[in-house]
């Protein structure tokens, strides 16, 4: 079956511009996560969705970052007024339930964001 | 709060040799532990996970890991390395009283030489 997909695969933008990153989770998965992978910080949790709600946004680095999920499916991560330190690979993952720590997360291929 | 430490950012082995990637965790509650592999320009793929059943966990591609509570460790092993095992490996923890938020180690790059 189809896995987690993300678009675009690569995004180059200029400092100060806004960007939107999209994630399509595996059909039927209620939980969705965003992580960021950067050279300096490794893999970091950003936000968790259960359905359309985000019970944990604790990993969002600043108020320039926001995310939403609609229809219990597609999620968009928006970064406003991008800065060079936002350059990273943004990974999305989904899991069937998400209410237990043992649930396996399935990762997408990521979006590589470069801010010039 | 939980944390994960992977000892050795780079490990190099010969083809056919034992692979040992080290992971130690810190958690105030019983953890769930995971090993993921990442090939260049790809997302993460689950190798195996510990969910409080058997302490010796077998995963895909011949990998296995043993949960040792007394040592707070979850080291990944494979008896005989293949060239195709060259990748970056991540150990991660989530806590059973919460949802599946993963805390990752810094990763270990495995190089396999002929």
CA B92 and chain centroid, separation: 7
Long-range interactions of B52-59: CB distance < 8 A, separation 24+? B52/A102, B52/B96, B59/B35
Residue of B28, B53, B100, B107 to mutate when probing chain A, most A C-beta within 10 A: B100
How distant, in Å, are the alpha carbons of A50, B30, B97, B101, B102 from that of B1? 22, 12, 12, 12, 12
A48 touches chain B (CB under 8 A): yes
pLDDT of residue B53: 78
Share above pLDDT 90 across residues of chain A, in percent, rounded to a whole number = 86
Under a CB-based contact definition with an 8 Å cutoff, are residues B23 and B72 in contact? no
Query: pLDDT per position in chain B (114 positions), as tens?
Result: 889 999 999 999 999 999 999 999 998 888 899 999 999 888 899 999 998 878 999 999 999 999 999 999 999 999 999 999 999 999 999 976 667 889 999 999 999 999
pLDDT of residue B98: 65
Tokens of B114: 């002929």
Integer Cα distance of A80 and A48 in angstroms: 19
Which strands, in side-by-side order, build the sheet including A5-7? A5-7, A19-24, A75-79, A65-69
């Amino acid at each position: 079956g189809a896995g987690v997909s993300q678009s675009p695969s690569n995004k180059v933008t200029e400092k100060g511009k806004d960007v939107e990153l999209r994630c399509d989770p595996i059909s039927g998965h209620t939980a969705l996560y965003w992580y960021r992978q950067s050279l300096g910080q490794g893999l970091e949790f950003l936000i968790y969705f259960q359905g359309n709600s985000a019970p944990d946004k604790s990993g969002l680095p600043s108020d320039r970052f926001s995310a939403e999920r609609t229809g219990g499916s597609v999620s968009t991560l928006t970064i406003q007024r991008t800065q060079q330190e936002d350059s990273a690979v943004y990974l999305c993952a989904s899991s069937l339930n998400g209410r237990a720590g043992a649930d396996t997360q399935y990762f997408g291929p990521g979006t590589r964001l470069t801010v010039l | 709060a939980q944390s994960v430490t992977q000892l050795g950012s780079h490990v190099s082995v010969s083809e056919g040799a034992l692979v040992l990637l080290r992971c130690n965790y810190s958690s105030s509650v019983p953890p769930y532990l995971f090993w993921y592999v990442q090939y260049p320009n790809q997302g993460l793929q689950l190798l195996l996970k510990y969910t409080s059943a058997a302490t010796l966990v077998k995963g895909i591609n011949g990998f296995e890991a043993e949960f040792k509570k007394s040592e707070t460790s979850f080291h990944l092993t494979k008896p005989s390395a293949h060239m195709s095992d060259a990748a970056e490996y991540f150990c991660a923890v989530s806590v059973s009283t919460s949802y599946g938020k993963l805390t990752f180690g810094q990763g270990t790059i495995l190089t396999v030489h002929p």
